[in-house]
Structure 1
Amino acid sequence: MIRAVGRLVFGMVVFLLACGTSEATVSVSPVIVEAARVQAGQSFEIACENWGEQDLDLQLSLALFDQDERGRVVFLEDVEAVRRAKEVLNLDREVLFLETQAKSIVRVELTQDDFDHLYAVLFVKPKQGGVPTRFAVLFLLSTSESQANLSVSSGVQEGEALAFTVHNKGLRHGLWEGELHLFDASDQLGERRKVTSGVVLAGRSRGVQVSLPHWVQRVEIISDHWGQ
């Protein structure tokens, strides 16, 4: 299967942070929190662990995020975005001290559920000077179980590349999956190829580009379903 644009993935992200003459290894897990039918009062747990040989002070903060037309995450850290994030989510602390080889749980509580979808981010940043890295935990929250409503605009073939756009008119993020039918110069079907869009946030669109074999003269885009 060809993934035209990478999916958002779950798991643990580990960073090596240069701190003086030693290295501090910090892990944050999960890096994505995805939940449907959320309600006020619900809480989420983020595990932070210091695997290194140096104690760490971590600064915690909230903001919102969006995505651009290529599907890349864009952090929204203006005053209004930060205010909205802190209005809907509550951190149990804003500073976290982690001793070496220690693990701690940060709890994030949902204080309001007056939205269809919320795309927020928790930043975890070491306070030590000279450490520019920060961790981002993405929250993709929905108050309903409704699925994404995904559609594809007509593709444009230029040489050995195909470009098309996936639109999400639903109230929840989703992933478009489909199949490309590749035809040769005699208009014979030469290959079927699976393709996915990557996550498309609610109310957003993202472009997809796929490389094609040199012999392809025509392409049909077939949608498997509306989204997931």
Structure 2
Amino acid sequence: MSNRIMDFIEKSNKVLLFFAAIFVIIVVGKNVLEDIMRKDYSPPTVQVIKSDDTKAIEQKVKLEKQYVGLINDVHIFEITSDRVVQEQPYSLSAERIVISSSFGLSENAVNLMFTKIGEQRKLLFEKNALIVEFSPSRDKQTQYDKILSKNIYSVAKYDSNNDGFLNDHDKKELLVSEYDGSNLTPVMDDIKGYEVVDNDLVLIYSASDADTLYFIFNIRTGELQKLDTAW
């Protein structure tokens, strides 16, 4: 009887060790896979290629087209790219179409396409630029969103810090347009960012050597006023 018990205990220990080894392998494998995924992932970037660079002719710009959303009767698509040839007008066809609907733009959105049924599409920019922020027009106020009579854009057009990429660290320009992308109008150069603070009122902040400067822009009237925030 004792031999049977010993055999049972021995077999039980082997089974437990087997399952313990499987568990360890699964846990270790999961951690290794997560580490690999974290190391491999990086947000999309937009590399700047100077138009006088001979290599720019050889490098094909990869463009993609993604559905963003609907404003009234206008369907909006974003154009994304992994690189921009400086001063080169938009002329290439998008290679791939991805469907989503959120009004949140990708980190490498370089243009917007506005199209109505039965009408020719319209591009926001003649030359691609990085759209850092985008606030679409809306005619109804909600708990979280204010009324905007125009679209608002924060755009980096040039590699101002010469790091080879267009990103949030470059000088940005604030622009507005009608809901369908028409009448694109510059509001202010060299801004850090903006925030919609009330219906058709935008707080713009811009950095100086000594302090951050604040401005209020009235979208409806087009009036831009500086706030006195001096110490």
- Scaled to the shorter chain, the TM-score interval is under 0.3
Higher RCO, Cα 8 Å, sep 6+? 1
Compute the TM-score of the two structures, normalised by the length of structure 2: 0.24
Compute the TM-score of the two structures, normalised by the length of structure 1: 0.24
Larger strand proportion, structure 1 or 2? 1
Larger helix proportion, structure 1 or 2? 2
Larger radius of gyration: 2
